[in-house]
Amino acid sequence: MNLTNYLSLKYAFKYTTILSILILCSCGNKTKSKTETETTVVKETAVPVGTLEVVAELNDICPGNVALSNSGRIFLTTHGIRPGSIQLVEILDENKYKVFPDSSYQTNGSNKSVEKLDTPLGIFIDNKDRLWTIDAGFGIGLKGRLFAFDINTGKELYRIDIPTELTPPHSCVQDLVVDETNEWVYISDSGDPGIIALDLASQTFRKFKDKTMLPADIEMVIGGQTIAVGDEPFKIGMNPISISTDRETLYFGAMTGTKWYALSSKLFRDNASDENISKAINIIGDKPLCDGVSTSADGKHYLTNMQNYSIDVLDNDGNLSTLVKDKRIDWPDNVRLGPDGWLYISTNQLYKVPRFTGGEDQATKPFLLLRVKV
């Protein structure tokens, strides 16, 4: 039994037990007639939308991004801003994980190699049970690489170098989506804002850049404090990216931006010009300053909101609202919809690292992997 199934049974048992007790209490000393039924059918109580609960507490690794398989297995990258000896894990229960695919791919600081994981962040599991992760390679001379593994065997399926001409020194490849129908991969670069598109069949790349991917001139404020690196307010361009379930539409935006955009993925497959791709971009609604987005089959967009300690939802009519707000949602780095009707949230208190505080790491452990009912 995987963790998502266990959590579902645990939640159902908890509320079914409570309901059973209430029913028994309500019976009191009532005497049943011979014709009265002796059996009470107890139905599972639906979990309210917006219910938030802890999936895992992590003390020795800092969560990066989370992804779930169609069978409910949970995988997590660790964030390179707090480097450690483990880069990719599978979550087994609230306090247990195992490295994935195995220890030989993990970098402990002294065994760095282009063949190993270094600083992976974005993670995506496609409908072919392939786990994809984009690795910026910060510890190995900015050698960006795309990895893919079979989640059932752990076998490496792809290790593809990102061309250096597409990733200048200030580049930061950190999120991705995969179109397994047409075998294309789309990578978000926040340092040199743009989308890197890869045709897996031909192993050819292109990079598309547009003004919609640039950061807006706004400051990120959390808890009344402007988030800055030194004296410069922290502003990041192209970052969150998602894809429709039919793989025909890409969605994207800048982290420090207030609009969420849509774009036909077919334009990349047809090798359309940058000019024509730019003309085809549509605004589908407002968004908060966010680090990650997951898009549902019915076209809803679930967005992290770092400033508000919340997860927001943009519906099909373009209405933006808060799904859940809780202090435990402390810098939600990314979100991913699971097969169980829950949205999984990776939190890491990123703004509390020395880069932003100018002193000590102010994070409070454990780091939390959360989920909210949708």
Tell me the pLDDT tens digit for each residue of 307-339. Answer: 999 999 999 999 999 999 999 999 999 999 999
Dist. CA 106–CA 116, nearest whole Å: 6
Residue 3 pLDDT: 80
pLDDT average, residue stretch 184-195? 98
Q: How sure is the predictor about 144, in pLDDT bands with cuts at 50, 70 and 90?
A: very high
Residue 166 reports pLDDT greater than 80? yes
Residue 10 pLDDT: 59
pLDDT average, residue stretch 166-192? 97
Q: Is there a single domain that holds both residue 39 and residue 84?
A: no
Dist. CA 200–CA 103, nearest whole Å: 27
Q: How sure is the predictor about 22, in pLDDT bands with cuts at 50, 70 and 90?
A: very low
Phi, psi of 32 (to 5 degrees): -80, 145
- In CATH, what number is assigned to the domain containing residue 65? 2.120.10.30
Percentage of the chain lying above the pLDDT 70 cut: 89
Q: Is there a single domain that holds both residue 353 and residue 314?
A: yes
pLDDT average, residue stretch 69-90? 97
> What is the 3 state secondary structure string of the chain?
CCHHHHHHHHHHHHHHHHHHHHHHHHHCCCCCCCCCCCCCCCCCCCCCCCCEEEEEEECCCCEEEEEECCCCCEEEEECCCCCCCCCEEEEEECCEEEECCCHHHCCCCCCCCCCCCCCEEEEEECCCCEEEEEECCHHHCCCCEEEEEECCCCCEEEEEECCHHHCCCCCCEEEEEEECCCCEEEEEECCCCEEEEEECCCCEEEEECCHHHCCCCCCCEECCEECEECCEECCCCEEEEEECCCCCEEEEEECCCCEEEEEECHHHHCCCCHHHHHHCCEEEEECCCCCCEEECCCCCEEEEEHHHCEEEEECCCCCEEEEEECCCCCCEEEEEECCCCEEEEEECCHHHCHHHHCCCCCCCCCEEEEEEEC
Q: Is there a single domain that holds both residue 18 and residue 155?
A: no
Range of the domain at 8: 1-46
Residue 105 CB neighbour total at 10 angstroms: 20
Q: How sure is the predictor about 110, in pLDDT bands with cuts at 50, 70 and 90?
A: confident
pLDDT average, residue stretch 263-275? 98
Q: Is there a single domain that holds both residue 154 and residue 111?
A: yes
Residue 45 pLDDT: 73
Q: Is there a single domain that holds both residue 202 and residue 285?
A: yes
Q: Is there a single domain that holds both residue 38 and residue 87?
A: no
Residue 9 pLDDT: 55
Residue 20 reports pLDDT greater than 70? no
Residue 181 reports pLDDT greater than 70? yes
Residue 24 vs residue 203, higher pLDDT: 203
Q: Is there a single domain that holds both residue 163 and residue 176?
A: yes
Residue 15 pLDDT: 47
Residue 41 pLDDT: 43
Residue 6 pLDDT: 65
Number of domains, the chain: 2
Q: Is there a single domain that holds both residue 36 and residue 70?
A: no
Q: Is there a single domain that holds both residue 21 and residue 64?
A: no
Q: Is there a single domain that holds both residue 266 and residue 197?
A: yes
Q: Is there a single domain that holds both residue 316 and residue 191?
A: yes
Residue 111 vs residue 48, higher pLDDT: 48
Mean pLDDT over each residue of the chain, to the nearest integer: 91
Dist. CA 367–CA 370, nearest whole Å: 10
Residue 40 pLDDT: 40
pLDDT average, residue stretch 173-196? 98
**Rounded to two decimals, what is the model's pTM?**
0.91
> What is the 3 state secondary structure string of 276-326?
HHHHCCEEEEECCCCCCEEECCCCCEEEEEHHHCEEEEECCCCCEEEEEEC
Residue 224 reports pLDDT greater than 60? yes
Residue 17 reports pLDDT greater than 70? no
Q: How sure is the predictor about 233, in pLDDT bands with cuts at 50, 70 and 90?
A: very high
Q: How sure is the predictor about 114, in pLDDT bands with cuts at 50, 70 and 90?
A: very high
Phi, psi of 186 (to 5 degrees): -125, 125
Q: How sure is the predictor about 7, in pLDDT bands with cuts at 50, 70 and 90?
A: confident
Strands 282-286 and 259-264, how do they pair?
antiparallel
Q: Is there a single domain that holds both residue 2 and residue 71?
A: no
Q: What is the distance in angstroms between the CA of the first residue and the CA of the last residue of the chain?
A: 23
